[in-house]
Structure 1
Amino acid sequence: MLLSPARWRLYLDLIRWDRPAGWLLLLWPTLSALWLAADGFPGWHLIAVFVGGTVLMRSAGCCVNDVADREFDRHVARTAQRPVTTGAIPVAEALALGAVLAMLAFGLALTTNPPTILWSFPALAVAVAYPFAKRWVSMPQAVLGVAFSLGIPMAFAAVLGSQAWSLSSLVDPVPKAAWGLVVANLFWVLAYDTEYAMVDREDDLKIGIRTSAITLGRWDVLGVAAFYAAFLGLWAWLGLGFFGLGSGFGLGLGLALGQVLMHLRWIADRSRAGCFRAFRLNHWVGAALFAGVVLDLGLR
């Protein structure tokens, strides 16, 4: 049965097709890891796999998130009109769409190697678990950080992994410095998603959702600054000290730092507009680091 244009528009709204910031935040660190693992251009096949998989999995995550949060979202002005919350898309239909998108992403993983395929299972599990974390975890942004960081070991596994089907093949292709990138990315997610949580803090307090913005309280801006400092500090240490990057990477790192300082100015007064602006434009921080990695490796 053919879907009407109106139905397609609802599906696109559900997966946030008109708001690419979400999948770009996931994409840039993954592509950076891909380039570092390959010590340069990784080939069009892996680029297509990871770009396509990132978009598909983020879209699938939106379906699960909106189903899990449908009762909460109706009490938040920013999310009250989401199609699952309003009933325009039934719960079963949203989950079915999410399952289809996840299967398409898995199909892309099947074109790589056994370690990458094995990594796709914990990546899916964390992505499904995240929407429920805010019910029990005081800083659910940390769970999102894990979900948004698993593309990094997957990228190294795709480039450096063998054809062995074993649990050891999950970690063998991933160097220690790559795990450092995972930790750095976790701090970045804590920074920008705390900014996002600051937008909805008053609504979240009313409905009993736990977020890092609520947990940090009056230390929220300082906490975001500390998260950013850890993120950029780790990237500088790993990029310059372990991956042997140079001036090209330093330029990207400087551009990222400049943006971070601007974001801290925007959130200083805790206004909803300023916090949302900082979150919405955060993907350019990741883009700057990625550009620095590509430039530096390209100059070798």
Structure 2
Amino acid sequence: MGATSPTGRLDMPVLEELSMGGVHFRESYVVPYPQAPLPPKLRYLTLTDYDSQNIPFSVFDFVTALITCKNLFRLHLKNLRLDISDTGTSSPRQPPWNYNFGFNLDFTDMSGDVIAELNRLLQYVLADSASYTCCSMPIRNTFPLWCVCDAFRVSFVDIASPMVLVNLLAGEASYREVLISRSDGLQSEVLHALTTPMATEHGGVDWPCPHLRELHINSCKQFSSKDLRDMLEARLKAHEETEFAMEDDGADFVLRSVTELYVHDCGELAPDDKEWFDKNVERVQWDDWRGGTEWP
């Protein structure tokens, strides 16, 4: 239960979870900043709905207020139409929870431009997990290609555009586990993009998602088992050419091959592809069939 401070502000020193609308958040914590910091023990923050017809709410002002949270564990942003017109402004400072084990980011119905600017101001935060639901591509030119918030585990849900998925997956992300669900955007060209190394400015090449080892696909109908096999086969071949170098092998490491594959409600598994998965993937499940070289 909060108490009213002498300044008329509601003090909630032990509050750990807060869910509120974007308009009220701006009025409560952004406009009066720094006189009204966020609760010091806040761990879970969910903000929803800020229309672009409201008073402009800049990503910079949002981040300035946000990084006062020293114990933030999960941030969920939904349908926030934030202002990015002041892009180029330096980051307020390094977020204290950057690179904290277990930090989670969730974006729902968010603009790619807002996500990219948020990531820049958060100094390219590395999260334990991140999710993107019904999110769009950035319209502005960004570098890297998408400037997503990096994570070890990531999920993409209800992504209709192949181009959005290509941009979400094409960079040198730290993704170890990827889940793609209910996304018509998962088509052959997206899987092909995962077989295509990108040239670097120094004359070398970088593989997209080089650390990817576990892939989950649910209720995606616009690709074939052959498309998926071709992607896994190309990455396995490239990994084999490095004598299966892993991250600890330093400069010899190029990418990992996918060792776990789980597919549900995505259409037919062709017999030839089933045979290949069974012989070349450690663990694979396609609907009710289980196989692989190391399935218990």
Bigger share in strand = 2
Bigger share in helix = 1
Q: Which has the higher contact order (CA 8 A, sep 6+)?
A: 1
**How does the TM-score come out when normalised to structure 1?**
0.31
